[in-house]
Amino acid sequence: MRSPYSARGATGALFFLGVVLCITGCGMFNPNLNYRALPVAQRQAAVQAVPFFAQERYQCGPAGLAMLLNWSGVEADAADLVPLVFTPDKKGSLQPALVAAARQHGRLAYAFNGVDPLLKELAAGYPVIVLQNLGLKWIPKWHYAVVLGYDLENGHVTLHSGTTANKTTDWRVFIRTWKRGQYWGLLALPPGELPASASQESYLKSVLGLEQVSNWDGAARAYEAALVKWENSLGALMGLGNSRFAAGDKDGAETAFRSAAQSFPENTAVLNNLAYVLAKQGKFEDALDIIRRAGDIGGPLAPVVRQTHDEILVMMKSNPEAAGP
């Protein structure tokens, strides 16, 4: 094991694989729902101060992402985003490219499917990129728009779309075109802000995207926010420890892993990473005690634990003064 982060491939990844597989989709939307049954405060919402970028031909993806990034505090021009998200042979932008570009600009990219999440995010004050099919199922005309708000009593939704800002669209027409895009939506938030509709599993999956672009400080802020909402979350504690270590904050990593070990004393992945961080700080006695505990537990991570144990011994030999008599 070279570091707690490389152990992520053998340990943390096992946990997060479980998280990813637990992601569930949102239910389908019934356009005939009686909205008058909702509290008045939930029947309408509007996001303020979302910049508008008129799209060039085939450039609704870069334009939509530019709107979200600028709203979130990142200066970005639609033209500068074209090389990152536009696929010429598709004459458009693919969803994974928008997600990746948002991450590259330091934002938490949170994708979802469903109308209920859309309403929650707008009510929380977050604009949302949506994928619509403005054509027919057999002759699609794919289009990205930014949803700014809705008024369920009056039956309309407000969009930045194409070359029109603050466009008012009939709610049923919007739902019909959005359904063809499988109700896909995307947020681009500053790390540390929680999507209003996020489950713990879906949120942690999104935070992993920050790690994938080595945005360790952003990932740490996002994991800290998760721990405020989901106290003692194993995924958030492990992610926080790994992110802090990767950023060079060994003390912070130790604190996170010790918190995880307190809540999950029999988790070998937690003990493995805590032992390694302690050894990297020259705390060899504590490190050996903890890695031996992990070895006694055994399980599928036993080979990783043995490797970490051996590496700690190598570190001790190379640093005899810290190792003690």
CATH number of 277's domain: 1.25.40.10
- Is residue 216 a part of any domain in this protein? no
Last residue of a domain, one of 160, 189, 218: 189
Are residue 261 and residue 303 in the same domain, yes or no? Answer: yes
Q: What's the CATH number where 83 sits?
A: 3.90.70.10
Same domain flag for 17 and 40: no
Could you say which of 189, 211, 245 is where a domain stops?
189
Residues 146 and 289 placed together within one structural domain of the fold: no
Other residues' Cβ atoms within 10 Å of the Cβ of residue 299: 11
Structure tokens at 100: 């990746």
Query: Would residue 58 count as lying in a domain?
Result: yes
Q: Rounded to 5 degrees, what are φ and ψ at 265?
A: -65, -15
CB atoms within 10 A of CB 288: 18
Residue 56 DSSP class: P
Task: State whether 172 and 40 are in the same domain.
Answer: yes
C-alpha dihedral sign at 114, 119, 125, 129: positive
DSSP state of 307: H
Q: Do 16 and 51 have their domain in common?
A: no
The tens-digit pLDDT sequence of the chain (325 residues) is 444 433 333 333 333 222 332 333 333 444 445 566 667 777 899 999 999 999 988 899 999 999 999 999 999 999 999 999 999 988 889 999 999 999 999 999 999 999 999 999 999 999 999 999 998 888 889 999 999 999 998 999 999 999 999 999 999 999 999 999 999 999 999 999 999 999 999 999 999 999 999 999 999 999 999 999 999 999 999 999 999 999 999 999 999 999 999 999 999 999 999 999 999 999 999 999 999 999 999 999 999 999 999 999 999 998 876 555 4
CB 147 within 8 A of CB 127: yes
Helix (H) or strand (E) holding 185: strand 184-189
Number of domains, the chain = 2
Whether residues 182 and 44 fall in one domain: yes
Task: Tell me: do 180 and 238 sit in the same domain.
Answer: no
pTM reported for the whole predicted model? 0.87
State whether 165 and 40 are in the same domain. Answer: yes
Any domain includes 312:
yes
**Boundaries of domain holding 306:** 4-21+231-316
Q: Are residues 235 and 307 in the same domain?
A: yes
Which tokens go with 138? Answer: 């057999």
